[in-house]
């Protein structure tokens, strides 16, 4: 009987522990993330100035300092720069930014014509008519790189919070990283471009 009680108690503790892991709230600094996105675009896409050469410094990120039942906070001065530095240590994301910068003239051509618009998910959406095979591949490559950028930002936020970089945490942060990226695309849209608001409504800016 006592053994059964111990087994039940142990099982109950394990259930509570698993619930605690699920309830982790990841601190997401929206304004700092938007600023970090802007910094990265200026440095890596060649839209303004040249990439800043900064050697990685400071202490290595630790993923072991996890508060299973609390909220991990990362408020500190210079957070946009720190987030940008973390992203710049991700080769795939850096390459994605450079590829986006190299094709920006072609993407602007499609946006100027109204053929594509800026979707609420941060991706380009075909709006008017059918694209040529070349332009279709262009849009696909652009969207692939944008997904890489948004995923990289999600990982950077998880590292800022010193949390495990697992699927659950990435899934929690990715929608917010996507939302901020899409907001920047809407803000930067030129007059006449199609943009989609967070509710899914389309309009010309």
Percentages helix, strand, coil for the chain, rounded to the nearest 5?
Answer: 55, 10, 35
pLDDT score, position 89: 97
Tell me the pLDDT band of 193, cut-offs 50, 70 and 90. very high
User: pLDDT band at residue 46, thresholds of 50, 70 and 90?
Assistant: confident
Q: pLDDT of 156-182, one tens digit each?
A: 999 999 999 999 999 999 999 999 999
pLDDT tens digits for range 112-137: 999 999 999 999 999 988 899 999 99
Q: Bigger pLDDT: 64 or 99?
A: 99
The per-residue pLDDT for 10 is 57
Structural domain tally of the chain? Answer: 1
Q: pLDDT over 70 for what percent of the chain?
A: 74
Residue 5 pLDDT? 47
Q: Is the pLDDT of residue 194 over 60?
A: yes
Q: What is the pLDDT of residue 21?
A: 47
pLDDT for residue 129: 81
Q: Tokens 């899409």: give the residue.
A: 182
Judged against a pLDDT cut of 70, whether residue 59 lies above it is answered with no
Domain that includes residue 127, residue range: 2-204
**pLDDT of 165:** 95
Supply the mean pLDDT for the chain. Answer: 83
Residue of higher predicted confidence among 71 and 111 = 111
Burial class of residue 74 (count of CB atoms within 10 Å of its CB; 0-12, 13-18, 19+): middle
Reported pTM: 0.76
DSSP string, 16-75: HHHHHHHT-EE---HHHHHHHHHHHHHHHS-SSS--------SSPP-S----SSSEE---
């Amino acid at each position: 009987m006592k053994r059964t009680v111990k087994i039940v108690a142990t099982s109950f503790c394990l259930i509570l522990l698993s619930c605690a892991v699920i309830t982790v709230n990841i601190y997401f600094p929206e304004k700092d993330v938007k600023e970090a996105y802007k910094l990265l675009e200026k440095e890596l896409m060649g839209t303004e100035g040249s990439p800043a050469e900064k050697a990685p410094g400071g202490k290595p990120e630790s993923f072991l300092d996890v508060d299973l039942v609390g909220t991990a906070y990362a408020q500190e001065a210079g957070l946009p720069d720190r987030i940008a530095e973390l992203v710049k240590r991700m080769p795939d994301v850096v390459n994605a930014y450079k590829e986006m910068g190299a094709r920006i003239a072609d993407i602007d051509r499609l946006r100027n014509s109204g053929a594509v618009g800026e979707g609420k998910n941060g991706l380009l959406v075909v709006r008017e008519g059918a694209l040529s095979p070349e332009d279709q591949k262009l849009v696909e490559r652009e969207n692939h790189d944008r997904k890489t950028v948004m995923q990289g930002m999600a990982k950077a936020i998880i590292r800022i919070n010193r949390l495990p970089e697992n699927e659950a945490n990435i899934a929690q942060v990715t929608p917010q990283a996507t939302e901020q990226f899409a907001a920047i695309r809407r803000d930067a849209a030129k007059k006449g471009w199609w943009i989609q608001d967070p509710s899914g409504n389309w309009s010309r800016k």
